[in-house]
C-alpha cells in the first residue's frame, strides 16, 4: 500500500480492512511471542516483578486486539458491521499498537517500555510492518471526532456483537436499570444506604442470583456470558447493585463444584431464588491476597466446629444468611493444606444490629465508594456450626475449592468494571453535549471528544476480551489467564474513564451533586478487590512464562 492509502485505513472496503488488521494482529502476536522467548532465556525470578508484570500487560493488549478482531469478523458475517464499529476497531488497533511500540501504563506513573522486555530485532520488524504503520497512522483526531459524532447521532456506542437471546437480556436489564436504579444511585451513595430490600426482591424475581446455577437446582443455567451481560448493565446503574450477585455467584459456584448432594439440594435453590443471601468470608486483617496464611481457627468440640478469629473487608455481611467461611481446621498443616470451607448459616442482621448471631460481633468499615451493601469487620468468638457444614464433607480442601471459583469471580469483576466505565462515559457524553463554553458545546473541543472517543473504543475492546473469557469458561475451558487479563484491563479502564469523565465535568465533577464524583470513588476499588492489579499481572505472568 502507498503512504497515502495507509493514512486512510478507515476508507478501505471491508475485505481490505480485515486483511490489514489481520496482518497487524499477526505482527503483534509475533512481537509478544519473541518477548516471551527472550524472557524465558533470561530465567526471571519472582523478584523481577516489573518485567514479568509488564509482559503480562503486553500479552493482555494483544489478546484484546484478537478479541476485537473476532468481534468485527462476527459482526460482518451477520451484516451488523457498521461505520461506527469499523472505526472503533481501527482506533483500538491504532492506539494499542502504538502503545506496544512505545510503552504501556501499568498505573499512572509506571510505564513498561518494550526495551525492558528485550526483542530489539523483533521490535524493529514490528515497526516496519506496513499494516502496523497503517493502523497507527489512521488513529487521528479526525477519527476520534467521527466516532463521537456517530455515537451522538445514533444514541449508542457500538454493537456489542451479542446474539438475539443475549441482546434481549441486555435490553431487558438496560431498561430495568434506567427505570429502577440510575435515578436513586446517587442518594444511596451519599446517604450510605443499603440497597432497598424491594430492589433485591426484584432482582431475585428477574433471576439475577441464579444465572449460573443449574436448572436442576432452580437457576437459569445461562452461564458466565449472561452473568457478564447482566452484571455490566446493573453496574452501569450502580456498582452496588451490580455486585449483589457476586456473593451468590461465588457461593453457587463453590457448592455446585464441591458440595455434597445434600448441600446442593439445600442451598442452591434458595440462593437462586434470593431466599438466601450468601456472603464470602475469606480475608483477614493481616492476610490480604495471601489467603494461605489465614489464622481463623475452627476446632471440633462436642460434635461441632467452634470458630475463633477475625475477618475483615466482608461485603454485605450484615444482611446475609449464609457464609462461605474459610477457616483453618488443622493448625499442624502449613499453608493452604489446613484450610476448610464451611457453609455457615447465620441470622440476617440490620443496620442497628448487623450481627445478632451468638458468637459473632463486628462493625462497619466506612468507605469512599462501593456502597449499598456495606463493608464489615467480623470477630468470631465461639461461633458454632455443625460438622456437616464442611463443603463437600471434607476438611483441608478449602483453598483448592476457592481457587476453582476465582476465574468466574474475576470475569464478573471485569463486567462490574465495564459497567462503571460505561456509566462514566454516558454521564460525560451528556455533560459535554449540554455544557456550553465560549459559544459552543464543549464536546466540540478536541481534548474533550478525544477523551470520549477513547472511552468508547477501549470499552468495546475490553468488553470483547471479557466476553471471550466468559465464553471459554462456559465451554468448560480453564481461563485463569484470560480472566486475569479481563479484570486487569477493565479495572484500569473504569478508573481512567471515571477520572477523564470528572475532568470533562471540570469543577462540577468535584461536587457531590454530580454522579461522576460517585463513579470515581466506585471505580477506584476495582484495581484492588478480587486480586489487586499487581496480583492479576502476576497470575498472567505465571500462566504464560516458564515456571520458576
Q: Which residues are catalytic?
A: 530
**Are 462 and 407 spatial neighbours (Cβ–Cβ below 8 Å)?**
no
**Separation of alpha carbons 7 and 27, rounded Å:** 19
| Phi, psi values for residue 310, rounded to 5° | -130, 140
In the block, residue with C-alpha cell 499477526: 26
**Separation of alpha carbons 495 and 178, rounded Å:** 23
CB proximity list for 96: less than 8 A, separation 6 or greater? 28, 61, 64, 65, 461
Contacts of 215-222 with C-beta under 8 Å, sequence gap 24+, read: 217/256, 217/264, 217/265, 217/268, 217/269, 217/272, 218/268, 218/269, 218/272, 218/273, 219/252, 219/268, 219/272, 220/272, 222/169
Indicate the SS3 state at residue 21: helix
Indicate the SS3 state at residue 294: coil
Burial label for 39, CB within 10 Å (0-12, 13-18, 19+), is buried
**Separation of alpha carbons 246 and 225, rounded Å:** 14
**Are 346 and 323 spatial neighbours (Cβ–Cβ below 8 Å)?**
yes
**Are 294 and 286 spatial neighbours (Cβ–Cβ below 8 Å)?**
no
**Are 16 and 86 spatial neighbours (Cβ–Cβ below 8 Å)?**
no
**Are 344 and 385 spatial neighbours (Cβ–Cβ below 8 Å)?**
yes
Amino acid at each position: 500500500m502507498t503512504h497515502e492509502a495507509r493514512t486512510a485505513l478507515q476508507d478501505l472496503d471491508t475485505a481490505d480492512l480485515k486483511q490489514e488488521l489481520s496482518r497487524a494482529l499477526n505482527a503483534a502476536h509475533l512481537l509478544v511471542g519473541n518477548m516471551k522467548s527472550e524472557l524465558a532465556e533470561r530465567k526471571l525470578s519472582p523478584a523481577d516483578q516489573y518485567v514479568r508484570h509488564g509482559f503480562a500487560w503486553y500479552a493482555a493488549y494483544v489478546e484484546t486486539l484478537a478479541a476485537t478482531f473476532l468481534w468485527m469478523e462476527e459482526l460482518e458475517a451477520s451484516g451488523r458491521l457498521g461505520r461506527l464499529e469499523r472505526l472503533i476497531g481501527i482506533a483500538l488497533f491504532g492506539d494499542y499498537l502504538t502503545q506496544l511500540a512505545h510503552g504501556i501504563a501499568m498505573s499512572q506513573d509506571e510505564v513498561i517500555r518494550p526495551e525492558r522486555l528485550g526483542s530489539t530485532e523483533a521490535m524493529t520488524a514490528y515497526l516496519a510492518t506496513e499494516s502496523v504503520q497503517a493502523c497507527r497512522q489512521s488513529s487521528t483526531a479526525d477519527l476520534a471526532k467521527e466516532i463521537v459524532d456517530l455515537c451522538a447521532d445514533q444514541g449508542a456506542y457500538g454493537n456489542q456483537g451479542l446474539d438475539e437471546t443475549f441482546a434481549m437480556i441486555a435490553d431487558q436489564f438496560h431498561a430495568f436499570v434506567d427505570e429502577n436504579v440510575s435515578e436513586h444511585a446517587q442518594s444511596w451513595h451519599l446517604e450510605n444506604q443499603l440497597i432497598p430490600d424491594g430492589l433485591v426482591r426484584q432482582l431475585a424475581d428477574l433471576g439475577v442470583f441464579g444465572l449460573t446455577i443449574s436448572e436442576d437446582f432452580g437457576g437459569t443455567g445461562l452461564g458466565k456470558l449472561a452473568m457478564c451481560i447482566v452484571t455490566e448493565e446493573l453496574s452501569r446503574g450502580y456498582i452496588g447493585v451490580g455486585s449483589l450477585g457476586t456473593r451468590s455467584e461465588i457461593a453457587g459456584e463453590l457448592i455446585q463444584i464441591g458440595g455434597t448432594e445434600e448441600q446442593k439440594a439445600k442451598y442452591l435453590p434458595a440462593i437462586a431464588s434470593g431466599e438466601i443471601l450468601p456472603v464470602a468470608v475469606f480475608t483477614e486483617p493481616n492476610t490480604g491476597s495471601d489467603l494461605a496464611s489465614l489464622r481463623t481457627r475452627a476446632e471440633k468440640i462436642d460434635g461441632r466446629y467452634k470458630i475463633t478469629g477475625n475477618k475483615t473487608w466482608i461485603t454485605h455481611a450484615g444482611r446475609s444468611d449464609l457464609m462461605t467461611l474459610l477457616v483453618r481446621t488443622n493448625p499442624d498443616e502449613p499453608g493452604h493444606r489446613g484450610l476448610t470451607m464451611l457453609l455457615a448459616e447465620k441470622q440476617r442482621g440490620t443496620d442497628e444490629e448487623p450481627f445478632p448471631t451468638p458468637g459473632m460481633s463486628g462493625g462497619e468499615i466506612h468507605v469512599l465508594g462501593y456502597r449499598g451493601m456495606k463493608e464489615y469487620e467480623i470477630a468470631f468468638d465461639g461461633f458454632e456450626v455443625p460438622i456437616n457444614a464442611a463443603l463437600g464433607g471434607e476438611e483441608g480442601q478449602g483453598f483448592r475449592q476457592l481457587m476453582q471459583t476465582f476465574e468466574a469471580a474475576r470475569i464478573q469483576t471485569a463486567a462490574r468494571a465495564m459497567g462503571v466505565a460505561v456509566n462514566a462515559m454516558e454521564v460525560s457524553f451528556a455533560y459535554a453535549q449540554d455544557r456550553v463554553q465560549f459559544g459552543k458545546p464543549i464536546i466540540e473541543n478536541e481534548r474533550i471528544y478525544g477523551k470520549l472517543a477513547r472511552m468508547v473504543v477501549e470499552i468495546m475492546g475490553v468488553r470483547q476480551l471479557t466476553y471471550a473469557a466468559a465464553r471459554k469458561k462456559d465451554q468448560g475451558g480453564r481461563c485463569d489467564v484470560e480472566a486475569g487479563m479481563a479484570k486487569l484491563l477493565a479495572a484500569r479502564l473504569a478508573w481512567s474513564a471515571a477520572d477523564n469523565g470528572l475532568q470533562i465535568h471540570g469543577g462540577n465533577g468535584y461536587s457531590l451533586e454530580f454522579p461522576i464524583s460517585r463513579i470515581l470513588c466506585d471505580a477506584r476499588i476495582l484495581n484492588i478487590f478480587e486480586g489487586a492489579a499487581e496480583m492479576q499481572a502476576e497470575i498472567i505472568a505465571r500462566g504464560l512464562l516458564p515456571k520458576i
